[in-house]
Amino acid sequence: MKNPVFVALIALFFNASATAVSLVPAPPGINADAYLLLDFITGEILVEHNIDTRLPPASLTKLMTSYILAEEVDAGRLSLDDEVTVSRNAWSQNPKFRGSSLMWIEPGKVVTVGELEQGIAISSGNDATVAIAEHIAGSEEAFVALMNRYAEELGLAATHFENTHGLPNSDHLTTARDLGVLASATIRNHPERYRVYRQQSYTYNDIKQHNRNHLLREDPSVDGLKTGYTSVAGYGLVASAERDGMRLISVVLGSNSTRSRKAETRSLLNYGFRFYKNLEVVTGVASLGSTRVWKGKTEVVDGGLLESVTVVVPRTQATPEVIASFDDPLQAPINKGDAVGQLQVFLDGELLLERPLQALQNVESAGFFKRLWDGFLLWLSQIFSP
């Protein structure tokens, strides 16, 4: 039977006093149908409202179109220099695009994948989405099926796509939570392709268009992602910003104007950065304590985590406590990374996270006589233990 033995209690001090009281005010009031603020590193949601309500995404749909383009480029199946011949279906004068945002591509002309990528992310061109969809999957319909498969793979449980651009369709729906996950995946999985979202303008066909994410020009910490609008969906904005090594992602859906969605996004981001911080509570491969190992060539193993662990905490919060405990008895062989106990992080007496404590070294089995002798000593210790 496992008997966890207390080994280490590590207080991690930062500027706040250990007796500090958390002074985090209520989140700002946001005029939108749904909104979300999450911490990129931990995935923790800091602010939420109706985040699982299914809503039309409008041009925020293009986050998935661009994600698939990035997947293809990074996998080597697609090059930014590849040439795409524009079809009549992708033509900017296609009647279904009338009155919507366009890159202004023309049928029969050649455009590169890199130009289409900018046309989607910066100009929000509905025509560009169809052109890249046809190039990647052969048809827009086949590409939409691919979008839905990626949605399933990324865990976007409430999302369903009917087109590549986000023009109104009653079955074309997503949630603030799913868009937050998709934005996080874009930044984490395709950092090079993510850079296109920060570009402030793009000129194609002698037409210069400015990025509709106005925060890019007003807040240097903001470096993406995408705006959206239809009369059905209202005004939406998925944005990300990084300050002092902390990255936040905000989602605003169903706001009532471009000015409103910008102000609401700014309020969410400022709130998160002002009142929260990332704190590394465990440094990877740093020992949190050691304990006896029986029947091994060495008699001690260090415990910790192979990878660092970061949490998000209020800036005025009391000091977190990290408690590492080893299972007893531990017997060789032990491989680096094996679970050898339990690690817990507490904040104000509440369990913040729990992970298996990992061995930081290999411990090989000892020879026959050492194993025999340790077995005898272990038996004696168990008999006479309280």
Nearest to 146, CA basis, from 156, 157, 137, 134? 137
**Dihedral angle at the C-alpha atoms of 153, 159, 161, 166, nearest 10 degrees?**
-130
The pair of three-digit structure tokens given for residue 116, joined into one six-digit string = 């289409």
Q: Which listed residue (62, 262, 277, 295) is catalytic? A: 62
The pair of three-digit structure tokens given for residue 123, joined into one six-digit string = 């100009």
Q: How far is CA 249 from CA 55, 173, 177, 191, 272, in A?
A: 19, 20, 11, 15, 10
Q: Is 295 a catalytic residue?
A: no
- Is 109 in contact with 124 (CB distance < 8 Å)? no
List b or e across 35-49, with b for residues whose CB sees 16 or more CB atoms inside 10 angstroms. Answer: bbbbbbbbeeebbbb
Positive or negative torsion for Cα 16, 17, 19, 20: negative
183: alpha, beta or left, given left = phi > 0 and alpha = psi -120 to 50?
A: alpha
Give CA–CA dist 100/92, Å, rounded.
10
Q: Which listed residue (66, 124, 240, 255) is catalytic? A: 124
Q: Which listed residue (59, 101, 250, 290) is catalytic? A: 59
Q: Is 62 a catalytic residue?
A: yes
Positive or negative torsion for Cα 151, 152, 154, 160: positive
Give CA–CA dist 372/297, Å, rounded.
13
* Catalytic residue list: 59, 62, 124
